Amino acid sequence: MKICFPILADKGLKSPVNNHFGSTKQFLIYDADKDSFETVENCDAGHVHGACQPIKALDGRQIDAVVLGGIGMGALLKLNAMGIKVFRASAPLVEDNLQLYHNGRLVEIKVDDTCAGHGTCGHGD
């Protein structure tokens, strides 16, 4: 199982989770089977608002879940169509959200919970 986190700064598992998927500069991908992680640059950070390409952003890497502060409807629908679940981060750091995820305490983001545009997200910026 591979879990992806958009991050604000690369500090390993102590990285702060970014509140936005498409505009993040980096992703941390945690591989639960190997108990390891890698950091990936966002290859789609310069996209037009609403035109996020999640797999392009992840440089083609396959993932099973995403944990973040917020996401636009288009990116959420594209991820869900590929069988990838998206969860709302409940803590500021990757390591804390991993624990919450493993304990089943993160809430899955649904279409009604998505961002309508930067500055209008219910999760904060």
pLDDT digits (tens, 9 = 90+) for 77-109: 989 999 999 999 999 999 999 999 999 999 999
Residue ranges in 1-125 assigned as alpha helix (H): 54-57, 73-81, 94-102
pTM over the 0.85 mark: yes
> Quick one: what percent of the chain has pLDDT higher than 90?
61
What structural domains does the chain harbor? 2-113 (3.30.420.130)
Tell whether the model's pLDDT for residue 13 goes beyond 80. Answer: yes
Q: How many H helices and E strands in the chain?
A: 3, 6
Note the pLDDT of residue 101: 97
